[in-house]
Structure 1
Amino acid sequence: MTERPRVHDLLRQKGSRKWLQLHVDNGEEAAAAVEAGIVILSCEADVTLDMVRAAAPSAFVSTGMAHGSVASPDEAVREGFSLLRRGADSIYCSHSPRFIEAMAREAIPVTGHVGLVPNKAAWTGYRAVGRTPEEAARVLREVKDLENAGAATIEVEVVPVRLAAHITATTPMLTMGMGCGTACDTQYLFSCDVLGTHTGHYPRHAKRYDDFVALMAEVQTRRVMAFRAWADDVASGTYPEVTHQVDMSDDAFERALDLTRSF
């Protein structure tokens, strides 16, 4: 098994390598991603983390600290250490820089987030962020704040390509790019978008490579067909057959009855 990369390994190759990164929802997806050559994964911090870590021991796993799950920097440190013990290599945190700084001071690798941050979309809407000079300047300020707080990596989501390229070239943090063209250090997508697992909205930057909605509909149809065929066999008497059951000899059966006569 290849030894999994750590933050140091990723940062050491910044500027010389582009990484693939995938957000996965279960262990099966994690194992498939690694088999496909993807070694940077992200996942939720619920039971998904344990499944992903078990299924992909050689992957770098960034796990999300749910927004609002901690209410103080001290709580963030405690939760960060807990997630590291469970197998995370980095902690995604969309809280303010003071939470990130507290974890970074304790050598917990942290991933910050700028641009379209879904947990903060009440203030921006679900749209590209950084198109105007003023908004681009705010994004750059946020990047610097996260950098000064000690974040090791930063997700850059749906910002103009030119801005993402500038961020990548001027920060020592590893940039994880989603919807930023080829500007960032990683090319990042969600497995649900790649696999086509839902019928809802697909973001502009996503590309579907399969149609799991249709696939799972076919699986469900075949489930019903199999269950119905079994029910029909039971009703007609064609199941169970002799090969589906066990029996005992006449002598063994009579002996068993003899042994019960004293009951």
Structure 2
Amino acid sequence: MVHRNTRPTVSDIRAMKSRGEKISMLYVTTIDEAAAANAAGVHMLSIEGRVFSPQMREAAGNCFVQVGLPYGGWGTFQGQHLATAEDYLRAAYHFTAMGGDCFYCAASFDVQKALCDNHVPIVAHVGLIPSYITWTGFRAVGKTAAEATTVWSEVKRLEAIGCFGAELECVPDRIGAYISKNTSMIMLGMGAGPDADAQYLFAEDVLGHTDGHKPRHAKTYRNFAAEFQRLQAERISAFQEFVADVNSGAYPERQHNVSIPDSEYEAFVAGINDQTPSH
């Protein structure tokens, strides 16, 4: 297991920003993806609380892990939706003990501030925010001066309450560059241009098995969709062969069975017969 002191800290990530270093970030959902990201040298991972576990933290190795705290109807923690600052704090402390390094929180400023006031490293969200999508629709945000100013104002407000960073999603590249350069927060760019502090993609987009809409900023490096289709076809064929063997009696074969010596079997039958009352 990776010792806590060998993993990057908030201070280390901030130092990377100050040095102008490129930061890579992936959203992963499985232990295998987390392990692959660690082996590949990815700097940061985003993992939803619903799938985060000690095993996934261990697989993530030296990656700095952002744990997503569920918001509203987007998930639950210990069977309940998070609503109050106390709810979010309890969840954050739970995942901190599990090895979370920072926490994504899309709740209100009041809740985010309460977390920051308790020294919890919080990543907020500006620009296109999926959990608030009914207000904007799925589109880039900040293409007008007025809208870009609103995004900037939100960034400064988050900075003022002590947030560690913010996801900066689907904003014009020059807006992303201006914001990243002029805030102390780590701006995790997802479709925010090359000058965001981090470049953030979903593993499913990188691996080519996105289900549904593929965003403009996504880049596919492998075609796992075709491989998954091939594996599913092979899975079905194997199951069909198993059913056919059961129906024909071809399975189980002799080597699949547990044997018993003739003498022991005969003794078993004789013993049963001795116990069976005569009529």
Question: Normalising by the residue count of structure 2, what TM-score does the alignment of the two structures yield?
Answer: 0.86
Contact 2:103/2:123, CA 8 A, preserved across alignment: yes
2:34, 2:213 → 1: CA distance? 23
Structure 1 residue 24 corresponds to structure 2 residue 36: no
1:260 Cα shift? 4.4
Contact 2:66/2:104, CA 8 A, preserved across alignment: yes
Contact 1:114/1:139, CA 8 A, preserved across alignment: yes
Change (3 A) 1:245 1:74: closer
Report the residue type matching 1:91 in the other structure.
Answer: F
Structure 1 residue 148 corresponds to structure 2 residue 160: yes
SS in 2 for 1:127: coil
1:227, 1:163 → 2: CA distance? 53
Q: Which residue of 6, 9, 23 corresponds with 1:6?
A: 9
Change (3 A) 1:50 1:127: farther
Q: Which residue of 35, 38, 42 corresponds with 1:34?
A: 38
Structure 1 unpaired stretches of 5+ = none
Report the residue type matching 1:20 in the other structure.
Answer: S
1:256 Cα shift? 3.4
Structure 1 residue 106 corresponds to structure 2 residue 118: yes
1:258 Cα shift? 4.7
1:261 Cα shift? 5.5
Between the aligned residues of both structures, percent identity stands at 40
2:38, 2:257 → 1: CA distance? 43
Structure 1 residue 222 corresponds to structure 2 residue 234: yes
SS in 2 for 1:29: helix
Structure 1 residue 116 corresponds to structure 2 residue 128: yes
SS in 1 for 2:214: coil
Q: Which residue of 2 aligns with 1:77?
A: 89
Change (3 A) 1:186 1:239: same
Q: Which residue of 1 aligns with 2:192?
A: 180
Contact 2:66/2:102, CA 8 A, preserved across alignment: yes
| Larger CA deviation: 111-120 vs 70-79 | 70-79
Q: Which residue of 2 aligns with 1:90?
A: 102
Q: Which residue of 2 aligns with 1:203?
A: 215
1:77 Cα shift? 2.5
| Larger CA deviation: 186-195 vs 238-247 | 238-247
Structure 2 unpaired stretches of 5+ = 73-80
1:226 Cα shift? 1.1
Question: Normalising by the residue count of structure 1, what TM-score does the alignment of the two structures yield?
Answer: 0.91
Structure 1 residue 252 corresponds to structure 2 residue 276: no
Q: Which residue of 1 aligns with 2:142?
A: 130
2:143, 2:161 → 1: CA distance? 25
Report the residue type matching 2:171 in the other structure.
Answer: V
Q: Which residue of 2 aligns with 1:157?
A: 169
Contact 2:174/2:193, CA 8 A, preserved across alignment: no
When the two structures are aligned, how many residues end up with a matched partner?
263
SS in 2 for 1:47: coil
RMSD: 2.0
2:69, 2:251 → 1: CA distance? 52
